[in-house]
Amino acid sequence: MERNNILNIPNILGFYRILAFPLVLYFALSGRQSLFAIFLTINLLTDVLDGFIARKFNMESDFGARLDSIADNLTYLLAFVGIFVFKLEEFLPHLVSFLIFIGFMSSTQIVSLLRFGRFPSFHLYSTKIGGYIQGAFFIVLFTHGFVTPFYYLMISWGIMSALEHVIIQFIIPGMRSNVKGLYWVLKERNSQPADPGIQYRGHHLKVKQNQNGNPSSDEKFGR
């Protein structure tokens, strides 16, 4: 891979989020809520920015998708740590639903590791939208407080997105990056050529018809 394909702006932002992980984690574990909230917000904003730049300027790549997925997972981990360190009291009435949400989110990673031996890098449209919703929720949580309708919107969308993610993993034969969504996966699968044997048989029938000028017996009976 060429160096220019690695050291572009989206990937640099991804590297930043990975390198910033220990620092932001330290802020959480040491109880520095203001610094934690500031740097978590920066991470969330850079996540939006690197995806926009990559798509806008045609800088998408398999390496960039994998890097972004690693950075996303670390950012989610920071957000969850921050919740349990700083906001657990506000989450206690909703703890069961939140743990279910975490379980569905984790399942996308676990299934991918078991099936393909690597972390996923699908970047589904539903996941991107869910990421925006989650990012906005965390920003509101640390600047304003817990907003119940916003919380249930976040986990509902996240669970639906995780289900789509897992279903796709059981459909596709191998892991790949930058998958749009289940609709496009099914559309692509349905548009693939039919069985080669069937194609050859159809071609053979056409040849027989062209040579004889009459439909073959197979064609007459629709076989």
- pLDDT tens-digit series, residues 180-216: 999 999 999 898 765 554 444 444 444 444 445 555 4
Residue type, 45: L
Contact in structure between 49 and 25 (CB atoms under 8 Å): no
Q: How far apart are CA 55 and CA 43, in angstroms?
A: 19
pLDDT at residue 36 above 50?
Answer: yes
Span 10-21, pLDDT tens digits: 999 999 999 999
**Residue 63: burial class (beta carbons within 10 Å; 0-12, 13-18, 19+):** middle
**C-alpha separations of 58 from 8, 9, 13, 125 in Å:** 11, 12, 16, 17
Query: Across all residues in the chain, what is the average pLDDT?
Result: 86
pTM of the model: 0.77
Q: Using one digit for the tens of pLDDT, what is the confidence trace for 55-102?
A: 888 888 888 888 998 999 999 999 999 999 999 999 999 999 999 999
Does the structure show a pLDDT above 60 at 132?
yes
Question: Chain centroid to CA 208: how far?
Answer: 50
Q: What pLDDT is recorded for position 200?
A: 41
Share of the chain above pLDDT 70, in %: 84
State how far the alpha carbon of 156 is from the alpha carbons of 9, 101, 152, in Å.
32, 8, 6
Q: What pLDDT, on a 0 to 100 scale, did the predictor assign at position 177? A: 87
Q: With pLDDT > 90 as the criterion, what percentage of the chain qualifies?
A: 63
> Phi-psi category of 89—alpha, beta or left, where left has phi over 0 and alpha has psi -120 to 50?
alpha
